[in-house]
Amino acid sequence: MLMQIAEPGESRAKEACTKRVVGIDLGTTNSLVAYVADGGPSVITGTKGPLVPSVVYYAPAGEGVLVGHAAQARGVEHPADTVASAKRLIGRSLADVAGVRAMLPYEIVGDARAVRIKLGRGDEVSPVEVSAEILRELAARAEAALGGPVEGVVITVPAYFDDAQRQATRDAGRLAGLEVLRLLAEPTAAALAYGLDRGSKGVYAVFDLGGGTFDVSILKLVDGVFEVKATGGDSALGGDDLDRSIALGVRGELGGDRRSIAQALTEARRVKEALSDAESTDFHVPGMGGRKVSRDELRAWATPLLEKCGKACRRVLKDAGVTREELDGVILVGGSTRSPVVREYVRGLFGKEPLSDLDPDQVVALGAAVQADVLAGGKQDVVLLDVVPLSLGLEMMGGVVEKLIHRNTTIPCGATETFTTYADNQTGFDVHVLQGERETADACRSLARFVVRGVPPMIAGMGRVEITFQVDADGLLQVTAKELTTGVVTSVEVKPSYGLSDEEVERMLMESFDHAEDDLVRRNVAVERVEAERILAATRGAFANPEGLLDDDVRAAGEAAMATLAAAAAGTDYHAIRAAVEALDLATKPFAQARMNRAITAQLQGVSIADAEKKLGA
């Protein structure tokens, strides 16, 4: 997102905040909080280190809530009341998380609008509520270190989080009682921390593989400007998936009760971490047996997941117009990149040794702290330029998509276009907001629908509405529609009730490439059909009231041409539709000329030659 740093006095955030502002990396597996002191960012640590496990334990009613290490300790014995990996569920529907449900030891319920977690004690909580508990814990840690209440936070989100997931993250911050100054993309935060630490210039790839999400971004760093050239990834791919692959590889299945699943996943995570230093280790769960696991086996289990990462990386390099040889470095982010297997894959993918100067667990929080400090009036020579991950547009007649803001456009950004009425006496516009790369509405994701009313009845093409898209610095979209005749304005802040699943994100982009030619044909057919229907309706209306201007031979030729056009419009050859439109225009040209001559004669009747010349523009 565009983090344009305002001049002193221009930002409300600065007026509202003191130096007690922090950056929070709200992670799938672990979370951190950092602040800027003495000109540099620092992670706030606790008695068990800087990492706070993103785990919440809901004790029996009336006994409170535990967060972090204490909750993690209860997780194996009380899996149904212990919620981890809530970030994979935030802002999503039940259908979106179908592929994740099997690897979670607690029960997920919900519908097409939102997901909820059904606790063993009987009640339900939302992922937003779980995230809010983690944020409260981080804020309490910061308050203890800073000597007073936190007055503003920057929270990081995966670059590939869609509008619903970003909005849900912001809502979690508000529920925790925090003033959310900004949502910041995780790769951008990492680049900010690296850029300021190293004084770097050049083009960098940020490879961010966390517990539950994967992002890759190409950034250009020049003189304090951090510009995201392209971004991609998968909002449901991370170390949790590798844990599940290890457990499945050892056990052959991941069945049993919730307690056994939780035990197997916990042991898989320990094995994964142990294989970062050792060539082999034992996988053992009490009561289930175990065996030795080698790093070669880990590599085999990890390869399918890493290939998904590789596909996204190659696509982002292409989007950015950069070859891997042109990269000045590769920045590793996320605890999963500690694994030698992952680093080996990244080295082969990009053809260079990845940077590891900063702790991959901490680098995002450090960058967020720097951005929080900037917004609170600290360092003023930094500009962050992020991008829209997926195109935003409107559905037009015929089901085609008119893109107003294209993928990888720098944000904040906006676009305005004017649209006209399709039919005579049309008194409203149906506005359907879409997200995706395909050319037709049915292949894109619906974000919102609303109606602009009060359009004065006029002939087709005369009524006009001006549609404006505005994407803010948090990547959230607002759509405004203004009817230009009356000045009536309708506005909607787009808050879809659920987000894109990992499969949908990948499908949207890959299918936009794979089906680009087919999509263009479908779009052209739809556009030509709309034009054909408009011309047929107008011609039939004129033929019904010819006012003595329609000769029999012209009528016969016109009706034959209309029949040909109607038949062509029912087919799928847009060239044939276009040719039939031209043929109808030619067949009815004498009639059209006669009507035009009569209209001009009527206008000029009783008018002097001088006035007539003025009217005709002579």
The burial class, CB within 10 Å (0-12 / 13-18 / 19+), for 333 is buried
Beta pairing class for 180-185 and 152-157? parallel
Q: What amino acid occupies position 483?
A: E
Q: Identify whether 386 is a catalytic site residue.
A: no
Choose the catalytic residue: 81, 137, 171, 186.
186
348 C-beta neighbours (distance < 10 Å), count: 11
Q: CA–CA separation, 437 vs 445, rounded Å? A: 9
Choose the catalytic residue: 14, 25, 243, 482.
25
Tell me which H or E stretch contains 432: strand 428-435
Please say whether the beta carbons of 94 and 118 come within 8 A.
Answer: no
Q: Identify whether 257 is a catalytic site residue.
A: no
- The angle subtended at Cα 58 by Cα 57 and Cα 61, nearest 5°, is 155
Non-local (6+) Cβ contacts of 56 within 8 A are 65, 66, 67, 71, 82, 83, 84, 86, 130, 133, 134
CA distances from 154 to 35, 138, 157, 204, 219 (A): 10, 12, 10, 23, 20
Please say whether the beta carbons of 97 and 501 come within 8 A.
Answer: yes
Q: Identify whether 253 is a catalytic site residue.
A: no
Q: What is the dihedral of CA 541, 543, 549, 554, to 10 degrees?
A: 140
Beta pairing class for 383-387 and 225-234? parallel
* Terminal-residue alpha carbon distance, the chain: 54
Please say whether the beta carbons of 62 and 86 come within 8 A.
Answer: no
Please say whether the beta carbons of 94 and 115 come within 8 A.
Answer: yes
Strand partners, 392: 405, 435
Look up residue 479 and give its two tokens.
């759509």
Choose the catalytic residue: 87, 220, 272, 482.
87
The residue with tokens 């509202």 is: 16
Please say whether the beta carbons of 587 and 555 come within 8 A.
Answer: no
Q: CA–CA separation, 351 vs 545, rounded Å? A: 73
Choose the catalytic residue: 133, 137, 208, 234.
208
Q: CA–CA separation, 358 vs 364, rounded Å? A: 10
Q: Identify whether 123 is a catalytic site residue.
A: no
CA distances from 428 to 4, 424, 447, 481, 482 (A): 37, 11, 20, 11, 11
Positions annotated as catalytic residues are 25, 87, 186, 208
